[in-house]
Amino acid sequence: MSFADSKVLTKNFSHKSETGTVLVLACGAIAREVIEILRINNLPHIDLHCLPAILHNTPDKIPFAVKNAFDNYKVQYSKIFLAYADCGTGGKLEKLCAEYDIEMIDGPHCYSFFEGNKKFEELGETTSFYLTDFLVRQFDSFVWKPLGLDKNPELISMYFGNYEKLVYQSQSSDNNLVELAEAHAEKLNLNFEHRHTGFGDLEKFVKKLA
């Protein structure tokens, strides 16, 4: 199944099979990746419902959106899992999952679980700005315009002056995305590093639901 990333920016997105008994609630920013993991691992019993990726611009709203989605789907599925990390909610998602008995993926954010949480912690990178496949494609919508850099590029040094490099963690093998990510790094006046992480701990999380 293919779809435009724009569909998960501001709208809910669902991917359902005829035999789905387990549901994964996920961020729209990783919709492509979860669908691909389900496909290559032949997991037709798992359905996917993604919340709008744009919620990451207001992370305080993520727990409320997750709760609403859970309440909407809990009678339809035998088990519901959450493919969100903390994602800037300050522990609120973890608290919600404990209250509702929902298992969630480990890690502070997707950059960590794509890299592999253990490896990401060992790297201890504090001056790196990260992009995933989704964010490379949606750089203007999630970075450039929200920060006002399209109208005030002089703000680049204020926002990114403490960063040293842009790290592109690729999930797919697409040279066009690598070139685009490098162009984004150049716009931000950052050094560029490409690391192909694949799906990292996200695939491990989804596969164990089999």
Q: Which two tokens stand for residue 159?
A: 């926002």
For residue 155, what are its two tokens? 């703000």
Domains defined along the chain, listed by start: 5-111+200-207 (3.40.50), 116-196 (no CATH)
Report CA torsion sign: 163, 195, 81, 3: positive
Q: What is the pLDDT along the chain (210 residues), one digit of tens a residue?
A: 334 455 667 788 898 988 889 999 999 999 999 999 999 999 999 999 999 999 998 999 999 999 999 999 999 999 999 999 999 999 999 999 999 999 999 999 999 999 999 999 999 999 999 999 999 999 999 999 999 999 999 999 999 999 999 999 999 999 999 999 999 999 999 999 999 999 999 999 999 997
One-letter amino acid at 135 equals: L
Kindly give, in sequence order, each residue whose CB lies less than 8 Å from that of residue 129, ignoring residues fewer than 6 positions away. Answer: 160, 163, 165, 166, 167, 188, 190
Rounded CA separation 188/88 (Å): 23
Q: Are 197 and 169 in contact (CB under 8 A)?
A: yes
Query: Could you tell me the pTM of the whole model?
Result: 0.91
DSSP E strands in 93-190: the ranges are 103-104, 128-131, 165-170
* Inter-residue contact 81 to 93 (CB < 8 Å): no
